[in-house]
Structure 1
Amino acid sequence: MRGSLCPARLARLSLAVAVLAAAPSWPHDEGPAGVRFAITYPASLAAGPLDGRLLLMISTDDGAEPRFQIRDDPSTQQIFGIDVEGWRPGEERSIDAAVFGYPLASLAEVPDGTYRVQALLHRYETFHRADGHVVKLPMDRGEGQRWNRAPGNLLTAPLEIALRRRDPQPIRLELDRAIPPIEPPADSEYVKHVRIRSELLSEFWGRPMHLGAVLLLPHGFAEHPEARYPLAINHGHFAATLSGFRTTPPDPDLPPVDREWIAEHCPNGHHPDCDAHGYERVRQQAAYDFYRLWTGPDFPRVIVVLIQHANPYYDDSYAVNSQNLGPYGDAITYELIPWIEEHFRGLGPWARGLYGGSTGGWEALAAQVFYPEEYNGSHAACPDPIDFRAYTLVNVYEDHNAYYLEGPWSRVARPGHRDYLGQVNATLEGQNHKELVLGSKSRSGDQWDVWEAVFGPVGEDGYPRRIWDKRTGAIDHQVAAYWRENYDLRYVLERDWAELGPKLAGKIHIYVGEMDNYYLNNAVYLMEKFLAGTTDPPYGGTVLYGARDEHCWSGDATTLNAYSRLTYHQRFVRLLVEHWLATAPEGADVTSWRY
């Protein structure tokens, strides 16, 4: 049976520590503590046996369920995790002081006190891949690879416990509910949702695999059956439907817009308190403005395509072929895009363009580089690292440790996240240790792990071979060499410019803030240095920087990043159309869609 996800009546339990012999490597004088949680699930909830990642969250904050409070920054709550295989109903699985945690490494470090706890099983499925490897991974179930929201995952309600270190009894928890399925979004006059089976991906993964897309159809699509349309392909993280398009004005009950507060505290639109100061009203107004523009007389008539390619490792595939994820680049380019053009009257490669930010920025550039004649124009905002000499702050080819700058007498932790004033609130070590708790073998569904999965070779066990030791940060330069030859976009362009240059001239446009939160501007500097030096032919594109702008600045220097990030579609569609009209081959249809 499936229980409610609302927090149940808080049960009071007690947590104990049995003191063991002293060991100098542990933080307490008594030695490693005997803290233990014993977790089960009933046959009435799942028949089993089950595989997956069993997670335990411990929180001091009653503002939300603990599963929604695990973050990179200092506001995070505590989490521990273990792999489970063949787990049957009623069998105990234990999380104790030996289990690795984040941000505290062990339960032995958790002080006495009153906490809210929650346990969750992130379920895995078995894949028999075409390369002969058998792997266990969390299939995306419509949520975009979010372990704390994935339908079918088992969990408990938040429970209040009094942690008393010398109580000898284990804490017993039962997973008694499951996250329900997600209702698919409905189509509308303008927004359509499509899904196709990919033969290429199905063959690789050994089971049916699908690709999806959200389409924004142009005004007048039904009234002009003779028209054929360009495709403006928007890459990025998984979204169930198109954002930034709204057919009604903003909700009247939203808080008023405090632009002064937004400018100081919400410059990139991502502060947790943005909405309390009117940012949701800004979002809704921008979406409504775009609807009015889209349906007005002067906006280009194109089809916007949002690619959906969530997979067992992440919420998107990075739109390239990969040893670990399979041929997503080919599947998107040679299966999904032609299907859309056939069913929605597309024009073909000369009238396909790419745009996106962050992950979507990397994808927009990579798809253009790896398929130079299948796409005609790329606008990449704040792209993920496009030169691995600046893999955020790590040079994977020359550095020996990713987490620390090392000297003869000291070492300094590498930052992982900053604001526009340079204030650091996360380290690379902390970000990676969080992922290690969420999933072993690059299975966290998070950022650093998917980069390993996309860029790296397959390991002997069938999972991605790591670029560095996840605990220590020690870099594997053999893996780094593989990354360079296959996915370092600056290196690939420089190595192959004689062949690629004539096909890419005028197609590459990159934008980034000089205070990008994830230091992604560093790789753009290196890319720009190469591009600016090209002569045969010159690259003929643009690289622009936003002074003091954070992630994900997209080229508009006339307004705050928090506002310009809401205008991707209207700005980049116009730029793509301008390029298509200037480069259309002789005899191409440049009239039927311009009504």
Structure 2
Amino acid sequence: MRYLLLITFLFLVYNVSAQQPISITWAAKHSAKPLDGRLLLLLSNNNRTEPRFQIADGPQTQLAFGIDVENWKAGESKIITPAAFGYPIQSLAQVPHGEYYVQALLHRYETFHRNDGHTVKLPMDRGEGQQWNQAPGNLYSKPVKIRIDARLKNIIRIELTEAIPPVKEPEDTKYIKHIKIQSKLLTAFWGRPMYLGAHILLPEGWDTHPDVKYPLAIFHGHFPDDFDGFRTIPPDSTLKPDYIERFKLSGYNKIVQQEAYNFYKQWTGPHFPRVIAIEIQHANPYYDDSYAVNSANLGPYGDAITYELIPEIEKRFRGIGEGWARFMYGGSTGGWEVLAAQVFYPDQYNGCYAACPDPIDFRAYTVVDLYKDKNAYFLQSDFKKTPRPGSRNYLGHVSATLQEINYRELVLGTKSRSGQQFDIWEAVYSPVATDGYPKPIWDKRTGAIDSTVAAYWKEHYDLSYIMKRDWAKIGSKLKGKVHIYCGDMDNYYLNNAVYLTEEMLKALDNPTYDGEVDYGDRAEHCWNGDHTQPNYISRLRYHQMFIPKWAEEMKKRAPANADINSWRY
């Protein structure tokens, strides 16, 4: 009897052999045609918000399981079985018995017939910046409370009755304008109309000085809903204070609004340089931006931005329209983008300020050396399996491993289609595989690194290596233009690649690089070189930091006959 009770107990607690069937359908009202996409089942043990908003890398994440669906017809059932890959628990059969709030969502895919001959199915951005849980047109169910218990034989039925509504386009104001153009280069690559956009911040006096032309300040980064960090009215006094765990700070939303209002007062004040500042919208079928380079999988975004979008902005809004009068700044993804654009288009830009850039040396691809390591998820060892960390705080406390981060991505989308960080790096940097999707840098389940893909990445996108390799050709064009900043406790270990790049830059000669590399003591992600303010403030001051800095610095590199005064104040 004792052994029978033990077996029963183990079955109830660790049941891995059976699971209630979960059947999902969608309503015919949503589409007359069958649908393709990633079908996600989401479980949460709380109802603080919908399950679709509780899937994260950190320890507070809830549960997600995903399967690919093609030609899915209205009314047809799709069954989520224990074979569906899950995060952070890999199988439904391993979910502890109990009550959960359940929700299902279909992240819809579109079919693209690219000009390289490949046909692929991907989630095109629909104005939301590639957010799977907010993408207009995605179908989802209302959360319901259910009991997960393998002893129960009832079928759990879920219907996708809701559709996420379209995103409202921002409106023009006195200072902020918006532009959207169809790119000939990208349209040709993707085989359907493709667009680039930008939010444009006009300088004070732009409307009253119609003969003045202005330099262009290009802020690169993630998909902007509107021009970030600019607010013409004081903070909302009725705003309920929020709490930011990262900074251990209450009322951060009010701080953000105050900083944005302070910037407006500086921007319109008497001593701020009069430039046109822009934030580019270049969301695509893989991510909320393109990384601003040409890519085998994404197409010629670097050329489209540099030779189509930027000249059109300068034409419409009276930009000077020459390389010496353009500069770039940004953090994180934007930090990588500005350095890459400066390296690949050295004559078109006159300086870059790269804060906390994504890995700029693939010997430190976060904590992985892509050229020497065999596995991305675990340290090499004969007898020990030590996970590599993926994120930390300023004290070094780890909140997620590289394996966990990548498993979350794998649930959200196979074939680099999650719309998340490691998948977009793969989509931008990799060659095209035989199936038309990016060739994986490593096996998403095991972490085994493909050295042939790493070699391709090195020659095409390892910025530190490329600068050193091509310095004889581009060094004179980059002299004094490269500025890099990073916190030495960056949450994603991005400082590791900056150290290697700094070492390389300092060894260059004929010419010397004459730039700047700086680190913030115990500063986390998005530190931008400001030693006077805490990280949670400095990360909100990119415009204030870099526009005045460039306005002074460019005097050294402007052509002898350039007008560097009429636009200044």
What's the TM-score once normalised by structure 1's chain length? 0.92
Give the structure 1 partner of residue 161 of structure 2: 176
Deviation at residue 30 of structure 1 after TM alignment? 5.6
Deviation at residue 266 of structure 1 after TM alignment? 4.1
Deviation at residue 566 of structure 1 after TM alignment? 1.0
Picking from 224, 229, 241, the partner of 1:239 is 224
Distance in 2, Cα, partners of 1:38 & 1:525? 51
Are 1:106 and 2:79 an aligned pair?
no
- Matching residue's letter, 2:108: R
Distance in 1, Cα, partners of 2:12 & 2:443? 23
Q: Compared with structure 1, are the counterparts of its residues 256 and 323 closer, same or farther at alpha carbon in structure 2 (3 Å cutoff)?
A: closer
Work out whether residues 100 and 147 of structure 2, in 8 Å CA contact, stay in contact via their aligned partners in 1: yes
Distance in 2, Cα, partners of 1:311 & 1:536? 39
Give the structure 2 partner of residue 299 of structure 1: 272
Give the structure 2 partner of residue 7 of structure 1: none
Give the structure 1 partner of residue 368 of structure 2: 394
The residue correspondences of 1:249-264 to structure 2 (distance < 5 A) are: 249-254=234-239
Distance in 2, Cα, partners of 1:458 & 1:424? 34
Work out whether residues 504 and 539 of structure 1, in 8 Å CA contact, stay in contact via their aligned partners in 2: yes
Are 1:538 and 2:512 an aligned pair?
yes
- Matching residue's letter, 1:503: K
- Matching residue's letter, 1:361: G
Distance in 1, Cα, partners of 2:466 & 2:16? 52
Are 1:332 and 2:280 an aligned pair?
no
Deviation at residue 582 of structure 1 after TM alignment? 2.2
Give the structure 2 partner of residue 76 of structure 1: 61
Give the structure 2 partner of residue 322 of structure 1: 295
- The number of equivalent residue pairs is 559
Are 1:448 and 2:422 an aligned pair?
yes
Distance in 1, Cα, partners of 2:562 & 2:469? 33
Deviation at residue 408 of structure 1 after TM alignment? 1.1
Q: Secondary structure at the match of 1:451?
A: helix
The residue correspondences of 1:483-494 to structure 2 (distance < 5 A) are: 483-494=457-468
The residue correspondences of 1:457-536 to structure 2 (distance < 5 A) are: 457-536=431-510
Q: Secondary structure at the match of 1:44?
A: helix
Work out whether residues 145 and 314 of structure 1, in 8 Å CA contact, stay in contact via their aligned partners in 2: yes
Give the structure 2 partner of residue 549 of structure 1: 523
Work out whether residues 232 and 576 of structure 1, in 8 Å CA contact, stay in contact via their aligned partners in 2: no
Which aligned runs of 4 or more in structure 1 are off by greater than 3 angstroms?
A: 26-31, 254-257
The residue correspondences of 1:31-50 to structure 2 (distance < 5 A) are: 31-50=16-35
Specify every segment of 5 or more residues in structure 1 that has no aligned partner in the other structure, as ranges. Answer: 1-21
Distance in 1, Cα, partners of 2:287 & 2:352? 23
Output one character per residue of 1:523-558: Cα deviation in whole Å (capped at 9) or x when no partner: 000000000111110000000000100001100011
Q: Compared with structure 1, are the counterparts of its residues 417 and 589 closer, same or farther at alpha carbon in structure 2 (3 Å cutoff)?
A: same
Deviation at residue 28 of structure 1 after TM alignment? 7.2
Deviation at residue 280 of structure 1 after TM alignment? 1.3
Picking from 281, 298, 314, the partner of 1:341 is 314
What's the TM-score once normalised by structure 2's chain length? 0.96
Deviation at residue 27 of structure 1 after TM alignment? 11
Output one character per residue of 1:337-371: Cα deviation in whole Å (capped at 9) or x when no partner: 11011111111211000000000000010000000
Distance in 2, Cα, partners of 1:253 & 1:151? 30
- Matching residue's letter, 1:492: I
Q: Compared with structure 1, are the counterparts of its residues 30 and 547 closer, same or farther at alpha carbon in structure 2 (3 Å cutoff)?
A: closer
Picking from 44, 49, 74, the partner of 1:59 is 44
Deviation at residue 579 of structure 1 after TM alignment? 2.2
Deviation at residue 48 of structure 1 after TM alignment? 2.3
Give the structure 2 partner of residue 8 of structure 1: none
Q: Percent identity?
A: 61
Distance in 1, Cα, partners of 2:217 & 2:141? 43
Picking from 107, 114, 121, the partner of 1:136 is 121
Output one character per residue of 1:62-97: Cα deviation in whole Å (capped at 9) or x when no partner: 100000000001100000000000000111111111
- Matching residue's letter, 1:235: H
Q: Secondary structure at the match of 2:340?
A: helix
- Matching residue's letter, 1:509: H
Q: Secondary structure at the match of 1:227?
A: coil
Picking from 166, 179, 192, the partner of 1:207 is 192
- Matching residue's letter, 2:309: L
Deviation at residue 255 of structure 1 after TM alignment? 5.8
Work out whether residues 226 and 592 of structure 1, in 8 Å CA contact, stay in contact via their aligned partners in 2: no
Deviation at residue 581 of structure 1 after TM alignment? 2.2
Specify every segment of 5 or more residues in structure 2 that has no aligned partner in the other structure, as ranges. Answer: 1-6
